[in-house]
């Protein structure tokens, strides 16, 4: 049921099958030089939510977006001079840069977990050819179930996710076998968000600047999950609302109406047909809609705490968490 194609013996067939599968909104396991990635079209919310679903991710961590060349990267993010220098020196390669997203970017908010920055890199090897051919960026975390180690061979991927996946591209063992190094440049500070396949010393040598290591406390905040306030809408958020108060925006699920709805500023339904994947895809966009309207409060109706619902609730809880102003 899972098709495995060897890219070394059948590159054309592998490219064609990958593009066809991606265009259907399905994830494909692709070989990158770091680890095998679970790749999906970064502009397609349904495809991205399938990544979270397949990995069983407890929450929507931002995903790294993979592009084919610097021109493609420039379409989605703005480069500061230091980041550009790093990109020119180390791409394609095991370096992810966290950069501000451009306004016209059509990367879906589910891929970057609603952040206004994007983790982006150009991978080495066959995965790059796939992106070149497909013509759109691919969001890809490591192709493993959440909590397991990253796969460095097609066999690892098949053992873990086989059966769930339509297609695995096999290019042999990953060259790097360790995830990319993640760097964020803030003004003239170069910050390490995650150590990885690119040696930090090489970055220091190129730039002539020290790379700031994560403080143990700060690291947890900066890398996965990020700060709650990053995800938070401007509006206050009421969870699991039993009714609607006048002037609130109601975001509900499964067509389930709530008392007082007629007094809502407006009502959005994450998925009238109770499809959690559709709900996940709509979540960030709907919170943004409520904010754009200027709502003081968003009331969320009940959402089933199962499958992707767990991740959706986690995101809403973060949005509802008290704002400590740690980072605006
Ligand atoms: O080598 C790699 O980086 C592999 C291959 C497939 O490219 N990918 C990978 O992705 O390791 P993943 O999803 O397992 O790890 C992504 C990390 C997470 O820790 C996430 O928090 C961080 O990148 N990240 C992504 N976008 C970010 C952003 N905008 N700001 C801060 N951190 C970000
Ligand atoms: Mg991973």
Q: Above 90 in pLDDT, residue 247?
A: yes
Report pLDDT digits (tens) over 124-143: 999 999 999 999 999 999 99
Residues with CB under 5 A from ligand 2 (ion): 142
pLDDT, tens digit (0-9, with 9 covering 90-100), for 10-28 = 999 999 999 999 999 999 9
Residue 229 is predicted with a pLDDT of 36
Q: Give the whole-number percent of the chain exceeding pLDDT 70.
A: 91
CA distance 290 to 211: 39
Mutate to test the pocket of ligand 1, among 179, 180, 184, 191 (most ligand atoms within 8 A of CB): 179
Counting ligands in written order, which one lies closest to the CA of residue 146?
A: 2
Query: Which pLDDT score, from 0 to 100, does residue 214 have?
Result: 67
In tens, the pLDDT along 25-47 reads 999 999 999 999 999 999 999 99
pLDDT band at 232 (very low <50, low <70, confident <90, very high): low
Q: What percent of the chain has pLDDT over 90?
A: 66
* Residue 58: count of CB within 10 angstroms of its CB: 13
* Contact by Cβ (8 Å): 50, 280: no
| Angle, helices 276-293/45-55, rounded to nearest 10 degrees | 120
d(CA 279, CA 263): 23
Of residues 322, 247, 257, 311, the one with CA closest to residue 62: 311
Q: Are 161 and 54 in contact (CB under 8 A)?
A: yes
Could you give the CA distance from residue 120 to residue 104 in angstroms, rounded to a whole number? 16
Cβ neighbors of 289 (< 8 A, separation 6 or more) are: 268
3-state secondary structure of 299: strand
Question: What separation in angstroms does the CA of 326 have from each of 106, 218, 230?
Answer: 29, 11, 10
271 Cα–ligand 2 center, Å: 29
Domains along the chain with CATH numbers: 3-212 (3.90.870.10), 236-320 (3.40.50.11030)
Find the 139 Cα to ligand 2 centroid distance in Å: 12
**Does the pLDDT at position 152 exceed 60?**
yes
Question: Over the chain, what is the mean pLDDT?
Answer: 88
Q: Is 4 within 8 Å of 158 (Cβ atoms)? A: yes
Q: How confident is the model at residue 285 (pLDDT cuts 50, 70, 90)?
A: confident
Band of residue 291 on the pLDDT scale cut at 50, 70, 90: confident
d(CA 221, CA 161): 29
**What DSSP line would sit under 12-73, residue for residue?**
HHHHHHHHHHHHTT--EEEE-SSSEEEEEETT-HHHHHHHHHHHT-SS-PPPEEE-SSHHHH
Identify the residue whose C-alpha is closest to ligand 1 atom 15.
141
Query: Which ligand 1 atom sits closest to the C-alpha of 179?
Result: 1
What average pLDDT does range 205-230 have in this prediction?
Answer: 61
Question: In this structure, what token pair is assigned to residue 44?
Answer: 């397609």
pTM of the model: 0.80
Which range scores top for mean pLDDT: 52-61, 76-85, 282-291? 76-85
User: Where does residue 19 fall: left (phi above 0), alpha (psi -120 to 50 degrees), or beta otherwise?
Assistant: alpha
């Amino acid at each position: 049921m899972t098709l495995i194609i060897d890219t070394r013996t059948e590159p054309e067939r592998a490219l064609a099958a990958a593009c066809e599968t991606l265009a259907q909104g399905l994830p494909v396991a692709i070989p990158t030089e770091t680890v095998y990635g679970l790749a999906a079209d970064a502009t397609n919310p349904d495809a991205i939510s399938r990544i979270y679903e397949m990995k069983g991710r407890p929450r929507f961590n931002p995903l790294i977006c993979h592009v084919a060349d610097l021109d493609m990267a420039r379409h989605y993010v703005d480069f500061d001079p230091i980041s550009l220098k790093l990109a020119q020196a180390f791409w394609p390669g095991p370096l992810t840069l966290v950069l501000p997203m451009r306004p016209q970017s059509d990367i879906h908010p589910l891929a970057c977990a609603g952040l206004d920055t994007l983790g982006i890199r150009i991978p080495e090897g066959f995965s790059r050819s796939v992106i070149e051919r497909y013509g759109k960026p691919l969001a890809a975390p490591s192709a493993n179930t959440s909590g397991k180690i990253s796969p460095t061979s097609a066999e690892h991927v098949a053992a873990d996710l086989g059966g769930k996946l339509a297609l695995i591209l096999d290019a042999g063992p990953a060259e790097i076998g360790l995830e990319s190094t993640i760097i964020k440049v803030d003004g003239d500070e170069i910050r390490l968000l995650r150590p990885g396949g690119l040696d930090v010393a090489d970055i220091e040598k190129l730039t002539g600047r020290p790379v700031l290591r994560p403080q143990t406390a700060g690291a947890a905040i900066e890398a996965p999950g990020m700060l709650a306030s990053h995800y938070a809408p401007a509006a206050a958020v009421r969870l699991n609302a039993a009714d609607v108060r006048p002037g609130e925006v109601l975001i509900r699920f499964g067509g389930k109406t709530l008392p007082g709805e007629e007094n809502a500023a407006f009502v959005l339904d994450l998925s009238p047909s109770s499809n959690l994947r559709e709900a996940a895809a709509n979540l960030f966009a709907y919170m943004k809609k409520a904010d754009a309207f200027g709502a003081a409060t968003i009331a969320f109706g009940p959402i089933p705490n199962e499958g992707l619902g767990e991740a959706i609730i986690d995101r809403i809880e973060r949005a509802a968490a008290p704002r400590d102003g740690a980072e605006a």
